[in-house]
Amino acid sequence: MIHYNQVAGQNVKRIEALSDGVFAIALTLLVLEIKVPEVHVHSEEELFHVLVELAPKFLSYFLSFMTMGIFWTGQAFQLSYIENYNRDLNWNSLFFLLLVSLLPFTTAFLGQYITFKLAIGIYWLNILLLGLLLYIHWNYACKKKFISLQTDEMKAIDKAIRRRIIVAQTLYLSGALLCFINPYISIGFIILVQLNYAFAFFSPRIPKKRKV
Amino acid sequence: MIHYNQVAGQNVKRIEALSDGVFAIALTLLVLEIKVPEVHVHSEEELFHVLVELAPKFLSYFLSFMTMGIFWTGQAFQLSYIENYNRDLNWNSLFFLLLVSLLPFTTAFLGQYITFKLAIGIYWLNILLLGLLLYIHWNYACKKKFISLQTDEMKAIDKAIRRRIIVAQTLYLSGALLCFINPYISIGFIILVQLNYAFAFFSPRIPKKRKV
Amino acid sequence: MIHYNQVAGQNVKRIEALSDGVFAIALTLLVLEIKVPEVHVHSEEELFHVLVELAPKFLSYFLSFMTMGIFWTGQAFQLSYIENYNRDLNWNSLFFLLLVSLLPFTTAFLGQYITFKLAIGIYWLNILLLGLLLYIHWNYACKKKFISLQTDEMKAIDKAIRRRIIVAQTLYLSGALLCFINPYISIGFIILVQLNYAFAFFSPRIPKKRKV
Amino acid sequence: MIHYNQVAGQNVKRIEALSDGVFAIALTLLVLEIKVPEVHVHSEEELFHVLVELAPKFLSYFLSFMTMGIFWTGQAFQLSYIENYNRDLNWNSLFFLLLVSLLPFTTAFLGQYITFKLAIGIYWLNILLLGLLLYIHWNYACKKKFISLQTDEMKAIDKAIRRRIIVAQTLYLSGALLCFINPYISIGFIILVQLNYAFAFFSPRIPKKRKV
């Protein structure tokens, strides 16, 4: 007898497509908040001030987009190597997407209550859980042999993925702890970490072709 | 002469892609309801209370996400085995997606009017119809031989799918009927059933590789 | 020298994916309008009335979903036979998607101003243009030999597609013209036509396997 | 040792799927702004005026849709030739999508403050950055040999892509500069340029089959 749970959720392609859909929405969720204000302006300067007042929303949007991009890339990277899937990984990915869709909220919450430790804590918790689920995702797939790790290249990639998540999460934790000194230093540090992951200032950049 | 209805709607890949799109939106629909409240707070405790007041919305979102995940997995599973498609299955899937997109509403309606039998009834009806359409979807595909059921493995999978839907729907019905005793017991029971389907507490978990 | 317009827009797969995205949003656009009302109710009967008041929105949603489903199936069907694509077809599809995304508006407009000829006219115009673009889409693809029409089966499918669009649009036009007698008869007729296309009451239903 | 940044972000298919999702949302973002007004009207003429008042929103929507269509086609075209991908291209595409999702805002901003140079400037900046990122995207892919440029056809396509972006951006810049004479002439010119790119009035239209 085969149990439903033993055979359901094995389709990596569908998780990829669903993820792209959820990420596409989450990526654009905060842009929905930026409405064109309907005010009467009489000069270019006044209009400029209208734009400037929207700046915090643009910043929140940019921050949320960047973080989302980092995790989208991370998940896409793992999935490109995972050949088999099962219900545990399926639900790991679904809860990962749940956390992704909450990120615009926690980012906007941080933007609104920027001087409060709780806002930084919630934002950090969101990022921590995203990283944790990604780590469990990869670890589980390795254990179950859903990835062929025979070759040296794959072993090196395995190490690179784990190292990346651990280093990133350590930096995020350090950033979050800085809020006990000053909230702005804390957020500034976290944003710098994310900017680095997006723009790769301090990373080797010689791209290597992957054999497909 | 070939009639349009005999040849339209045969593309499984497109139904999969459309489903991923509709599910992605439905999954994130209730998160759109969670706005960052713009209130003046003076302490961490006050901010904490702001968050706590949002708790029912987070719970509704979590419940809706979990239910959606269960049905997404169920539909994806069926489609991964169905090789042919026709207009009847096409429209079955479209109405399935209609019900999916209504789930955030019925969940929020339940959250708002939690002590009313009608709210539980509507929520249960939504889940019942989703299960019913999935059952008809599979049954029809089997009858029309759109799935090759020669092998013993496939026969076992066929049984697993049918058993799963019938057991789940029996549990949901029992849960809904509990509302005649107490609405909270009723909802609590339904949530426990869904948590079990998401986290598989009482299920065999040895994953089996599917030959692709 | 190759001009950009001679080579751009040849990717059928991308148009399919973009269409699934736009349709997924358009399909769920009217559900965004259905908010759970936050009123104090004291009995099941009162709650029932709250639901009943939402009925027109549910009907609009259902009507819009059904129409969208008809055109999604129609476009998906054509694209499954079209092997090549070019910028003209690319832009035909983009404007088709523009009209798709306007359908929730014209449906809701009809729901709001149901007794006015103008509302029926706008709704009909939307459906007419959708059908027109689909017809041009298929006709152009046939002319440019982007579909192989050598086989008898393909010729029969070609006829089926053209006949379908022409018959459907004639029925829609007749329905729209009925508004000069009575708006409700007009809308009722159009809805019956769409119900028939969704549920295929009067159509041969013996599905034929397509060779893939 | 392999660094994460050397191997992440290599999946072209995923960027395509994410782009289709983000474009689908961005394409329909301004349609969300067009709500059916709930006013009491007593004649067809009054209802007609209700529609006419919505005209600016429809125009903004049309303009935004057309611009989006141009850039979607441009990006899809490049990606159909790029065989390899890396983290730099991955992030180039993510920031391209960020700019795409801002286009509905800058278009609506232009619609609201049509007589101000700042509104034209912001709108033009958005289009400039989109073109710039697309140009860098292609240029980088060529340099890194992610596209095979041996054949004469590919060299001609390379030239066609570069020429197209440079000519288009020169026209947009000229249009934007016209705002120092008159804002309406400026916007009118930009719209004409975009209409030409959508409908290809002045372009050779003999489509060439691409060998796939």
Is the predicted pLDDT of residue D150 greater than 80, yes or no? no
Chain D residues near residue B24 by CB distance under 8 angstroms: 21
Please state, in angstroms and rounded to a whole number, the distance separating the CA atoms of residues D76 and D165: 14
Q: Interface partners of D (3+ CB pairs, < 8 Å)?
A: A, B, C
pLDDT digits (tens, 9 = 90+) for B62-72: 888 999 999 99
Put simply, the answer to whether D204 touches C88 (Cβ < 8 Å) is no
CA distances from C5 to C86, C91, D19, D79, D208 (A): 8, 11, 21, 16, 10
Separation of CA C96 from chain center: 9
| CB of B149 closer than 8 Å to CB of B158 | yes
pLDDT of residue A206: 47
How many Å lie between the alpha carbon of C138 and the closest alpha carbon of chain B?
14
Nearest to A97 by CA among C76, D21, D87, D86: D21
CA–CA separation, D23 vs D17, rounded Å? 10
**Of A21, A47, A73, Cβ closest to residue D113:** A47
In chain C, what residues touch B3 (CB-CB under 8 Å)? 160, 203-204
Subunits adjacent to chain A (3 or more Cβ pairs under 8 Å)? B, C, D
DSSP string covering A157-173: HHHHHHHHHHHHHHHHH
Considering CB atoms only, which of C3, C101, C104 is closest to D204? C3
Distance from D202 to chain A by nearest Cα, in Å?
Answer: 35
Min Cα distance C105 → chain B (Å) is: 18
Compute the distance between CA of residue B66 and CA of residue B44 in angstroms, rounded to an integer.
Answer: 31
Rounded Cα distance between D132 and D140, Å, is 12
CA–CA–CA angle D100, D105, D106 (5° rounding): 85
**Cβ within 8 Å of residue B92, ≥6 positions away:** B133, B136, B137, B140
* Model confidence at B121: pLDDT above 70: yes
On chain B, the residues whose CB falls within 8 A of the CB of D24 are: 21
Q: What is the pLDDT of residues D15-65, one digit of tens each?
A: 999 999 999 999 998 888 888 888 888 899 999 999 998 988 888 888 889
Interface probe, candidates A4, A91, A125, chain B, greatest B C-beta count within 10 A: A4
pTM, two decimal places: 0.91
Q: To the nearest whole percent, how much of chain D has pLDDT over 90?
A: 50
Reading the block at residue D164, the tokens are 């197209």
Q: Do C23 and B18 touch (CB under 8 A)?
A: yes
Closest-CA residue of D relative to C120 is D44
Contact A2 B69 (CB under 8 A): no
pLDDT tier, D202 (very low <50, low <70, confident <90, very high otherwise): low
| Cβ(A125)–Cβ(A172) below 8 Å | no
Give the per-residue SS3 of chain B.
Answer: CCCHHHHCCCCHHHHHHHHHHHHHHHHHHHHHHCCCCCCCCCCHHHHHHHHHHCHHHHHHHHHHHHHHHHHHHHHHHHHHHCCCCCHHHHHHHHHHHHHHHHHHHHHHHHHHCCCCHHHHHHHHHHHHHHHHHHHHHHHHHHHCCCCCCCCHHHHHHHHHHHHHHHHHHHHHHHHHHHHHCCHHHHHHHHHHHHHHHHHCCCCCCCCCCCCC
Which of B25, B62, B73 lies at the smallest CB-CB distance from A8?
B73
A94-108, A180-194, D140-154, range with the lowest pLDDT = D140-154
What pLDDT score does A15 carry?
A: 92
Interface partners of chain B (CB pairs < 8 Å, 3 or more) are A, C, D
Nearest to A157 among D7, D112, D113 (CB): D7
> How many Cβ atoms are within 10 Å of B85's Cβ, its own excluded?
24
- B24 and D24 in contact by Cβ < 8 A? no
Look at residue B126 in the predicted model and tell me its pLDDT: 95
Length of chain D: 212
Give the residue from chain D lying closest to B22, CA to CA. Answer: D21
pLDDT tens-place string over residues D71-107: 999 999 999 888 888 889 999 999 999 999 999 999 9
Is D88's CB within 8 Å of A198's CB?
no
Q: Which residues of D fall within a CB distance of 8 Å from A104?
A: none
Under an 8 A CB cutoff, do A41 and D101 touch? no
DSSP labels, A5-61: HHHSS--HHHHHHHHHHHHHHHHHHGGGG-PPP-----SHHHHHHHHHHTHHHHHHH
CB spacing of C74 vs B117 below 8 angstroms? no
Q: D30: distance to nearest CA of chain B, Å?
A: 17
Separation of alpha carbons D91 and D97, rounded Å? 10
List, in sequence order, the alpha helices (H) in C30-116: 44-53, 55-81, 87-112
Per-residue pLDDT tens digits for A147-175: 876 788 888 888 889 999 999 999 999 99
Residue B152 has pLDDT above 90, yes or no: no
Output the pLDDT for position B210: 47
Task: Match 């599979």 to its residue by tokens.
Answer: B138
CA proximity to A10, closest of A76, A89, A71:
A89
Which candidate from B20, B44, B164 shows the least CB-CB separation from A118? B44
Q: Do C24 and A24 touch (CB under 8 A)?
A: no
pLDDT at D136: 95
* Chain A nearest C-alpha distance from C104 (Å): 19
H/E element holding A136? Answer: helix A117-143
Q: How high is the mean pLDDT of chain B?
A: 87
- How far apart CA A183 and CA A117 sit, in angstroms, is 7
- Beta carbons within 8 Å of A89's beta carbon, 6+ residues apart: A9, A15, A82, A137, A140, A141, A146
CA of B176 vs chain D CAs: smallest distance (Å): 36
Q: What is the band of C204 on the pLDDT scale with cuts at 50, 70, 90?
A: low
Does the beta-carbon distance from C207 to B87 stay under 8 Å?
yes
What is residue B102's predicted lDDT score, i.e. its pLDDT?
94
Chain C interface test: which of B1, B4, B99 (most C C-beta within 10 Å): B4
From chain C, the residues in CB contact with A32 under 8 A are none
The per-residue b/e assignment along C152-181, b for 16 or more CB within 10 angstroms, e otherwise, is: eeeeebbebbeebbeebbebbeebbebbee
Q: Using the beta-carbon criterion (under 8 Å), do C116 and D44 form an inter-chain contact?
A: yes
pLDDT of residue C91: 92
Average pLDDT over residues B91-105: 94
Which of C30, C209, C212 should be substituted to probe chain B, the one whose Cβ sees the most B Cβ atoms within 10 Å?
C209
Q: Of residues A59 and B21, which shows the higher confidence score?
A: B21
Q: Looking at beta carbons, which residues of chain B come within 8 Å of A56?
A: none
Place of tokens 């041996």: D150
CB pairs under 8 A between B and C: 126
Q: Is there a contact between D14 and A23 if contact means CB atoms under 8 Å apart?
A: no
If one counts every other C-beta atom within 10 angstroms of the C-beta of residue D156, the result is 15
Q: Which residues of A touch B210 (CB under 8 A)?
A: 7, 10, 84
Q: What is the dihedral of CA D54, D57, D59, D65, to 10 degrees?
A: -140
The rounded mean pLDDT for chain C is 87
Q: Which of C38, C77, C203 is facing B112, going by the closest CB pair?
A: C38
Do B36 and A90 count as a contact with CB atoms less than 8 A apart? Answer: no
Report the amino acid identity of residue A208: K
Nearest CA in chain B to C157: B2
The yes-or-no verdict on residue B27 having pLDDT over 60 is yes
